Amino acid sequence: MREKVIHLDSIVKNYKVGTQVVRALRSVSIDICKGEYVAIMGASGSGKSTLMNIIGCLDTPTSGTYILNDKDVSRMTDDSLAEIRNSEIGFVFQVFNLLPRNNALENVMLPLIYSGVRKAQRKVMAEQTLSDVGLSDRMTHRPNELSGGQRQRVAIARALVNKPSLLLADEPTGNLDSKISEEIMKLFAEIHQKGNTLIMVTHEHSIAMHAHRIIHLKDGEVESDEINPTPIY
């Protein structure tokens, strides 16, 4: 039996907007096992960003249970959630979120500083991870000296350097042209093949087709959850 990384049971998320209550998620139940590559799709307002925030421990559910690697994170304090995010989850965003004054190596080393890794070891780990994503010759370049695809590779290296149990990618190709998008998706395939668990939020069907499992959300509920029989790569 495969090891579960994520267990979501009857997750509800409500937001209050003025006097109105917006039901963003309505009793969502999903299990994701170690080594899976999952795409979460849905139109604007479907709840996919809310679900991503809960999975990434950036938000907590109104009700329901979220178990991440055997830890109940549903009701954790903000400080405990921050520790979980740093140790268990790697984030890749559409807008890269790199520090402009820091070079690629320094950007990738940041999560290791928060984890208390010694400086010499941080450098070794960051150099190896940048090399793994094909940027061994760009380590001393700042973000404005890199192409969009290279900046996203730096962001992916930063997400991976702590060896998280889960990699979350939120519209990772949204700011990239089609050619560079394919290169980034090929890199995700390589990362998955090494045994990493990937969850990707996207509105693009062509990008979702790289995943091995596709979950569609509609109006805050799981509309479908299917295995992709022909994943790209």
Sign for the pseudo-dihedral over CA of 31, 34, 38, 40: positive
pLDDT the model gives residue 233: 83
Residue type, 132: D
pLDDT the model gives residue 144: 96
The model's pTM = 0.92
Sign for the pseudo-dihedral over CA of 48, 162, 164, 207: positive
pLDDT band (50, 70, 90) for residue 110: very high
Average pLDDT of the chain, as a whole number: 94
pLDDT the model gives residue 96: 87
Give percent of the chain above pLDDT 70: 100
Distance CA(170)–CA(42), nearest Å, equals 13
Q: Residue 176: helix, strand or coil by DSSP?
A: coil
pLDDT the model gives residue 133: 95
* 75 has pLDDT over 90: no
Paired tokens of 116: 């208390």
CATH of domain 36-59+78-227: 3.40.50.300
Sign for the pseudo-dihedral over CA of 170, 95, 232, 133: negative
pLDDT the model gives residue 95: 86
pLDDT tens for 115-144 read 889 999 999 999 999 999 999 999 999 999
**Average pLDDT, integer, range 168-195:** 92
**Average pLDDT, integer, range 176-205:** 93
Q: Residue 89: helix, strand or coil by DSSP?
A: strand
pLDDT tens for 142-156 read 999 999 999 999 999
Paired tokens of 171: 């519209």
- List all residues 6 or more positions away from 77 whose beta carbon is below 8 Å from its beta carbon: none
What does R_g of the chain's alpha carbons equal in angstroms?
18
Using alpha carbons, list the distances in angstroms from residue 34 to 3, 4, 31.
Answer: 6, 6, 10
Residue 66, sorted as left (phi over 0), alpha (psi -120 to 50) or beta, turns out to be beta
pLDDT the model gives residue 166: 95
pLDDT the model gives residue 33: 97
* 109 has pLDDT over 80: yes
* 61 has pLDDT over 90: yes
Break the chain into its structural domains and give their ranges.
36-59+78-227
pLDDT band (50, 70, 90) for residue 210: very high
* 1 has pLDDT over 80: no
* 221 has pLDDT over 90: yes
